[in-house]
Structure 1
Amino acid sequence: MGFQVGQTALRHGTEYVEQNINRYVNLSALKHYFNVSNQYVVNKLFLVLFPWRHKPWSRKQSIGPNGQEGWFLPPRDDLNSPDMYIPVMALVTYILLSTLLAGLRGAFQPELLGYTATSAFFIVAVEILGLKLGCYLLSISNDSQLLDLVAYSGYKFVGVIVTLVLSELFSGGKGTGGWIGWAVFTYTFLANALFLLRSLKYVLLPENSSDERGTMQTVARSQKSRRTQFLFLYSYPVQLVFMWGLTRS
């Protein structure tokens, strides 16, 4: 009887948790961002670090039975699709790497792991809030906008990790203080900025927008100009501040 009561409680508890999670997070949509392959991960890392000659940047869409465009293809089938796997793994790697480097310099403390994680999550949260605010003020709407923005905000950690590793190897532990460290930081920052500038055009610079009745309307030239300025501001000055803050430790 006790075993049956336990099973019933576990089942109800699981259902309650799933219902509350689905209330705030669309798990089926989230799975789309983790649908990756080994080849995709390698090619995406190469794209993030070397975006200079990549073409095209547009995302691929599935074709319906009547020839109409459907949903965006998952990352496994489209290199230009944002994913959550690389940003999550890069974020975790950054936290562990920062504490490891501190230990190699003899400056490790147990509180450092929590401090580094809190700082990284805070930067990502501020970045997402700023992007959502900008999208709201510029009347940019997209069904998958939030998850796309979360994914793109995490790609900077790839460049940050490369900067920390190479700076440690070639600058004698000076971080970005040595000229080699600053050279690597400049390159990874510019690569990440160009990657975001090209990738986020379909989110922040849509050709058409819909009103409250769902009617498609062409974006005005002045509105498009403001969106272009916002995209440039996010890709360059904002990323410069965030990446500098993540690498200065």
Structure 2
Amino acid sequence: MRSPPPLSQGGSSASAYASSPYQQQPSVPMHPQGNIHPAYGGFFSDPAAQLGFQIGSSAMKNSRELLEANMNRYVNYNVLKHYFNVSNSYVLNKIRLVIFPWRHRPWSRVPKGVGPGQPEGLFLPPREDLNSPDMYIPVMAFVTYILLYTMIAGIRGHFHPELLGKLASTAFAIVALEIVGLKFGCYLLNINNESQLLDLVAYSGYKFVGIIATMLVQEVSVMGWIKWLGFGYFFMANAFFLLRSLKYVLLPENATDNPRGTVHAVARAQKNRRTQFLFIYSYVVQFIFMWILSSN
């Protein structure tokens, strides 16, 4: 860019500046009436251009409808919305419950009333029931865990851009493996209840709350035994929380064996196997995964 010539006394300099070749010109020729020049406006009235716009709009509409149809086949948005129906007080109380679950009573979920105007689903939404699982806290904790881990790595001088993708892939793979193991265990133990798959996803995601707290304790503490003590406490809190919460999912008092709703009592041997499976998942599996995710 070059500066305009310096102004001099008199009107001749102003006229010279007005006729300077550096004066900015409009990018699009304008009609004297203020409209777009006919040479450019004619493009939008061209039948070929209009046909191209129509074809593009139709293709975008068909693609959107096809995407929505395929997504609705696997995801029920009305059910998914139920898991994000939270409030500020619920989020604070739920985080406190996950970290300090020892004296909480009761653990059973509240069934919804039957009648017009009631929300969809078998139980009240998280906003109205503290024991109801939600997806808001697990998703936010998952994202916070990745950001916190990379921030700590940056403070220590070990950050690199690939760390974000690697960390997100590892955490997602662990959650997916955990859900597959839960579903496979439910299949082997003949656990057939009204719980949705998103219930198990939500309960699996609550571990990230304890992992975040463990990483903060490890970062601010200087003594090794405090780091171990922090990990042990948050692991035990998460395991106890899962043990109590999933009891009503994996250990129902009765079960249905056909679509008509015939109820039968769970045999004692079957209930013992389910108890062992729940204990292994809550303590052994969670210890391994929390150790892998919190080690930095």
Q: Is the 8 A contact 1:95 1:117 kept in 2?
A: yes
| 1:25-174 → structure 2 map (5 Å cutoff) | 25-65=75-115, 71-171=122-222
Q: Is the 8 A contact 1:59 1:81 kept in 2?
A: yes
Is 1:20 aligned to 2:66, yes or no? no
The root-mean-square deviation of aligned C-alpha atoms, in Å, is 1.6
Q: Which residue number corresponds to residue 175 of structure 1?
A: none
The percent of aligned pairs where both chains have the same amino acid is 65
Q: Is the 8 A contact 2:207 2:238 kept in 1?
A: yes
Q: Is the 8 A contact 1:61 1:73 kept in 2?
A: yes
Deviation at 1:164, TM superposition (A): 0.4
Secondary structure at the aligned position of 1:77 is classed as: coil
Residue in structure 2 matching 1:236, options 259, 280, 283: 283
Deviation at 1:4, TM superposition (A): 3.7
Deviation at 1:65, TM superposition (A): 4.1
Q: Which residue number corresponds to residue 10 of structure 2?
A: none
Report the AA paired with residue 269 of structure 2: S
Distance (whole Å) between structure 2 residues aligned to residue 143 and residue 18 of structure 1? 26
Q: Which residue number corresponds to residue 246 of structure 2?
A: 200
Distance (whole Å) between structure 2 residues aligned to residue 161 and residue 110 of structure 1? 21
- Of structures 1 and 2, the one scoring higher in RCO (CA 8 A, sep 6+) is 1
| Residue deviations 1:187-208 (CA, integer Å, cap 9, x gap) | 1001000100000011100111
Distance (whole Å) between structure 2 residues aligned to residue 124 and residue 65 of structure 1? 37
Residue in structure 2 matching 1:210, options 256, 262, 278: 256
Distance (whole Å) between structure 1 residues aligned to residue 112 and residue 183 of structure 2? 27
Q: Which residue number corresponds to residue 225 of structure 1?
A: 272
Report the AA paired with residue 52 of structure 1: W
Secondary structure at the aligned position of 1:209 is classed as: strand
Secondary structure at the aligned position of 1:59 is classed as: coil
Q: Which moved more, 1:140-149 or 1:39-48?
A: 140-149
More helix by share: 1
Query: Can you give the 5+ residue segments of structure 2 that lack an aligned partner in the other structure?
Result: 1-49
Distance (whole Å) between structure 2 residues aligned to residue 62 and residue 136 of structure 1? 27
Q: Is the 8 A contact 1:145 1:203 kept in 2?
A: no
Determine which structure has more spread, i.e. the larger CA radius of gyration. 2
Instruction: Give TM-score, length-normalised by structure 2.
Output: 0.78
Distance (whole Å) between structure 1 residues aligned to residue 220 and residue 90 of structure 2? 28
Number of residue-to-residue matches in the alignment = 241
Secondary structure at the aligned position of 1:72 is classed as: coil
Which 4+ residue blocks in structure 1 deviate beyond 2 angstroms?
1-11, 142-145
Residue in structure 2 matching 1:189, options 232, 235, 247: 235
Q: Which moved more, 1:22-31 or 1:155-164?
A: 22-31
Q: Is the 8 A contact 1:189 1:240 kept in 2?
A: yes
| Residue deviations 1:83-116 (CA, integer Å, cap 9, x gap) | 0000011011111111111111111111111111
Deviation at 1:145, TM superposition (A): 3.2
Secondary structure at the aligned position of 2:112 is classed as: strand
Distance (whole Å) between structure 2 residues aligned to residue 5 and residue 50 of structure 1? 59
Q: Is the 8 A contact 1:75 1:83 kept in 2?
A: yes
Secondary structure at the aligned position of 1:143 is classed as: coil
Is 1:245 aligned to 2:292, yes or no? yes
